[in-house]
Every structure is written in C-alpha cells, then in structure tokens.
Chain A
Amino acid sequence: MIRSQGYPSRPAWRVAAADATGAVHVAKQMRYEDAWAVAPAYALHRDGSPVVVAVADGHGHARHFRSARGAELAVALAARRGVVAASDLETATDIGHVELTLRNVLAPAIVDAWREDVHHDIAERPVTLPELAAAGLSAAPTAEDLLYGYGTTLLVAVAAGAWLGFLQLGDGDLIVVAPDGSVGHPVPYDPRLDGLRTTSLCQPDALESVRFGVVDVRAQPIGAVLLATDGFGNAHANNDWESTFGTDLANLSAQRGVEWVVEHLPEWVRECASANGSGDDATAVLLMATGTTWQGNHADDLRMGSDVLVAASEPPAGSSGPQHAATSSPQHAAMTPAHHAATTPPNHAITPAVPPQSAPARHRRGP
C-alpha cells in the first residue's frame, strides 16, 4: 500500500450494511442465520468516529439449533462492548496498547458476555423437546450441548481515532482496501478453517481462537473495510476475488462516489445470496473513510464493463425461490477440541455506557 496524500490522520467513517437470506435457506424455509450490528447507529446515515461494526454467521449444522439467536446476541454485545473499548482507543498513542486492549479486554469481555447472554436466553426461553430432537440431542442435554446450540462466528471492527482494530473468530472475510485499491488482510489466516468447519464462540477455548489485527491509518491509509460472512465471499467465482474487489471498489468510489457504493451494497449482497451465487445467507458491512482520495482509473472501468457484471434480471434471493427438497450448502459445525482447556478471563466489569443515541443498530429477523 502507498501513502495517500491528503488522507486524514483521524478519519471519520460512513457505514453501509446489507444482508440477504440465501436462496438455499429460502428453498428450505429456513430463517436468516447471520446478524450484523453497527454502533452508533447514526453511522449508517452520516460520517462518524468512533464506529464499531460486527458481523456474525450462525452455524448451519443441525446441532446448532439456535445459531441465529447466537449470532444476534454476539453482534449486539460486540457492538456495545466495542464502543466502550473504542473510547479508550481513540486516545491511544501506540499500537501495543491498542492490541492489548483488543486481546485482553474486548475479546474476553465478548466471549464471557456471550456465554452469559446465552444462559439468560435459555432461562427466558427454555429449549424444547422438539428442538432437542431436531438437533439429535437427548432430553437431558448437558450445558455444553446447549451452548453449542448457539454456535456462531464473529467479526468485529473498531474504528477509533487513528486506529482500526479487528478481531475475528471463525470464517468470513475481513479485508481492508487502500485508496489505490490494494487489499490487505489485517487478521492472520487460520488453517483450521477448511470450509467445512469453523472456530466458534461456542467452543470451550473460544478466546484462544480469536484472531486480532491493528492498523494505524496514519502509516497505512485505509479507504474502506469490508466485513462479510462466508455467503458473500463464497459467491465469487475467482479464488482471489478480494484483490479484484479492492480494485473495483476503488474505481467505483472514484468514478461514481461513495454514496453510490453505499446505495448499491444491498444489491451486491442479494446477488451473492442468490442461486447464481453461494445460495447461502450473505451479510456485508462496509466502512468507508471519508476524505479518501480514491485512485481509480478509467482503463479498469472499461475492464469492469465486460468482466464484473451480473444479471439483475435474476430474481433476488428471498423473492421467489423454488421450493426444492434437496439443497446444498456447507455444513458448518463448530470445531470441538478434544481438550476442554476453558479459559476464565478476568472479569473486567465493563459497563456498556452506551448512551441511547448510540445504541447499536442491530439486525433482527423472524423465521
């Protein structure tokens, strides 16, 4: 990536979020099992900083019988806890402090609070016998079985001051795009994510499986951040779709403007979730840094004209999917480590001091 002239040292961010129920889920009459949240909610409509966004993908396997709820709980608390962490990161002066805050404060708080929220959810809405039967569980499930039922991935981005902090547990895509369209992966690769299984909030050693990343935008200007569930990435035909996505995003932002990009994200996500794409639930959140001088070029726009177009005439996911009996989708099941080295992180007693106007925008859908 190259240093961009005129890039703000403390950018504000505009957030766009979109989701679509996968064509497979529609055909099987299954509910949307992803979730997303943005805090503060006004970032969806105007520029702001700090901003926290979270995306989650509830596991599709039958054993994870309440994974959609698990995903909702995860993004909601990640947004709330993330806002608290962001207020600290805004004034941070060194990258080490940012990383420690993510690793030692935010991640443990999310993992602990998610487990508590799951227990509260079960207490409020006890698991029924039909649910247990559908999950292949006995009538007397263990506490671990029940926690497993809420299994979900989680991707979080905290944009505060000069910092972009990331944490990711499980699969999905988290990429940063420089003003010149080059793409970076701020979070380390996890070789355990083989397309069939994923690390998860429900596993005993969830905290040890969280991956972290920090970017100092003063040294490495970032024009956009994409967080997406795997239903978005799996729709793309090319193995290296992220690079093309970065180039295309830079071109589109330069030539048509950020507002155009924000307006069209829902259309892109619908296409990805359609039968022409992954057929899986797709969710994507874009953070666009205001003040970015995007470096697109006309030649690439011409290439796009013949290479990066999809048919809009296809029915959008969720509109008219045929009711077929058999479908295909990756069967995500959380990894279940043989050992149960549960970590008990210190209780940081973080109080989510989120003022009413900063309440996260949280996505909820009924079945």
Chain B
Amino acid sequence: MAPYGTDPDDDTRVVLPGGGIAKRPMHFIIAADGSYSMNGEKMQALNFAIATMLPQLVEWERAQENVRVLVRAIKFDNQATWHIETPTPVADVRWTPLRCEPRALTHMGAAMRLMASVLTADRLERRALRPTLLLVTDGIATDDFEAGLAALLATPGGSMAMRIAVAIGPDARREQLAAFSDPGVEVLRADRADQIPDLLLAVSIAVGRMSEVRADDGALVAGLRTTTSERPWS
C-alpha cells in the first residue's frame, strides 16, 4: 500500500516521519461451501448473494473515515483453497462464481486452518481493525472440524474476529456453526436458497454496525435480528 502523497511532483506535501500513513485495514474473509450438495440452486443463490453483498460493503466503506475493507475468499470441498488469495480492496473485487465438483465433500476444518494461516500475529497488521469471518455452508464437516476451529481460535486475528455463520437448509450442523460463531451472535439460517441474498445483505449491514463507535456486540445481534427474517436456532 503506497503511502499518501508519494508523488514527488506534488509540492503540497508535508514530511511525516514513520513511513507514511494509511487508513486502517479491515479484513473480511468469506469461507464458502463448495461441496456437491450445494450444487444447483443453492450455489447460484450464494454466488448472487455474495455479488450483491460486496457493493453494499463498498458503500459502507466509502461512508467511513478510516477503514479500508480487504476481501479474501475460500472455497472448501475436498480441500480448502483460496478463491481470492490476495487481500483485495472491496471495491476492486469482481466476484467469479464458485462451482461445485461432483461428489465433493465438506472439508470445513481445512477452511478454518486456511483462515488461521493469515490471522497470525505475524500476518495480521497490528493496526488492523477487528476482522470479519463469514462461513456459509449447507452441510456437516467431513474432516476434523474441531481441530481446524481450534487452530483458528488460537490465532490473535481468529479469536478477536467477528465470526458469522450462515446455514443453508436443515442439514447444516448447528453445534459446529455455533462453535464457530462469535459468542452472542446467533447462527443465521436460510431455509430456502432465495433467502441467502437477504441474509448476506444483513451480514454486510451488521459488519458496519459492528464497527460503529460506541456500538457493541449487542447492537450487532440486534441488527442481524431486525434486518433478517431468519429464525435463529433455539
């Protein structure tokens, strides 16, 4: 990230010791289920939902005084791979639709570990705002989810992150998603594929509320409840 005012022809600059200043980064990492059970309507809805959510985040970022939202994305099926590996300014993200492979499984634990790999003390900027981790799945992890989650929560960025889980359909395992979710934030559930866009829109609004000065997690939870028609698991 180039510091401001690096144009040597700009004579309106002032000298600032310390290597230059910049807005504070806020990392937003999406972990999306690419297992075969997502094939068809669910995956189409998810791709549409993410593509709809990103402009909302762009709008929110533009309204801020000090934030630069940086997006990464992970697809997990028989393994976890980066769909967007480089932290990309949200305004620059052009969402490439995810696709499901035949017979692909749900290695959600691997996705946790991949997220953990970029949230360690040496990878996350000291000045970074609280990261947001969004997990979207319709199934049950087919690998060692608990170990992956433990690895994620062992990182400074993973433990401090706002972690939001979205369950699609009735087959997602509540216990796993609740364990991933931030304490006090209910797992969001879409019973039908057409509810996914509304849920992710609510997530993007909640991310903004989360970062408001003098707001707290209570405001986030309230935001999620009032903005969506989802029924949190009891």
* A interface residues (Cβ-Cβ under 8 A, vs B): 22-28, 30, 60-62, 136, 194-196, 233-239, 241-242, 244-245, 248-249, 252, 264, 267-268, 271-272, 275-280, 304-314, 321, 324-331, 333
CA distance A22 to B1 in the complex (A): 22
Can you add 19 more A-B contacts, CB < 8 Å, to A264-B14, A307-B20? A23-B65, A24-B213, A26-B65, A30-B213, A62-B215, A136-B218, A194-B160, A235-B22, A237-B3, A239-B125, A244-B19, A248-B18, A271-B21, A278-B66, A310-B5, A311-B13, A328-B212, A329-B66, A331-B213
Name B5's closest neighbour in chain A (CB-CB): A311
Among A234, A275, A308, A327, the residue within 8 A (CB) of B212 is A327
CB neighbours of A27 from chain B (8 A): 65
Name B126's closest neighbour in chain A (CB-CB): A239
Among B8, B128, B213, the residue within 8 A (CB) of A195 is B128
CA distance A66 to B216 in the complex (A): 17
Let me know if B4 is at the binding interface, CB within 8 A. yes
CA distance A301 to B3 in the complex (A): 17
Among A234, A237, A314, the residue within 8 A (CB) of B20 is A237
B66 near A280: Cβ-Cβ < 8 Å? yes
CB neighbours of B214 from chain A (8 A): 28, 30, 60-62, 331
Per the 8 Å Cβ criterion, residues 1-53 of B in contact with A are: 1, 3-6, 8, 10, 12-24, 26
B213 near A236: Cβ-Cβ < 8 Å? no
CA distance A327 to B22 in the complex (A): 16
B15 near A309: Cβ-Cβ < 8 Å? yes
B6 near A307: Cβ-Cβ < 8 Å? yes
Name A272's closest neighbour in chain B (CB-CB): B21
* Chain A binding surface SS class: loop
CA distance A27 to B64 in the complex (A): 9
Among B15, B63, B64, the residue within 8 A (CB) of A252 is B15
Task: Tell me, rounded to whole Å, the shortest Cβ–Cβ distance linking B78 to chain A.
Answer: 35
A328 near B129: Cβ-Cβ < 8 Å? yes
Let me know if B208 is at the binding interface, CB within 8 A. yes
Let me know if B82 is at the binding interface, CB within 8 A. no
Count of interface residues, chain B, beta-carbon cutoff 8 Å = 44
Let me know if B67 is at the binding interface, CB within 8 A. yes
CA distance A334 to B5 in the complex (A): 36
A310 near B3: Cβ-Cβ < 8 Å? yes
CA distance A78 to B22 in the complex (A): 32
A28 near B213: Cβ-Cβ < 8 Å? yes
Q: List 18 A-B contacts (CB under 8 A).
A: A234-B24, A234-B127, A237-B19, A245-B18, A249-B17, A268-B16, A275-B23, A276-B21, A278-B66, A304-B15, A308-B18, A308-B19, A308-B20, A309-B4, A309-B6, A310-B21, A327-B64, A328-B24
CA distance A62 to B63 in the complex (A): 21
> With A237-B22, A310-B20, A327-B65 in contact, is A267–B14 under 8 Å at CB?
yes
B24 near A278: Cβ-Cβ < 8 Å? yes
Most A Cβ at <10 Å: residue of B1, B60, B125, B127: B127
B17 near A305: Cβ-Cβ < 8 Å? no
CA distance A365 to B65 in the complex (A): 22
Contact with A along B211-228 (1 / 0, CB 8 A): 111111010000000000
B216 near A327: Cβ-Cβ < 8 Å? no
B66 near A196: Cβ-Cβ < 8 Å? no
Task: Tell me, rounded to whole Å, the shortest Cβ–Cβ distance linking A286 to chain B.
Answer: 11
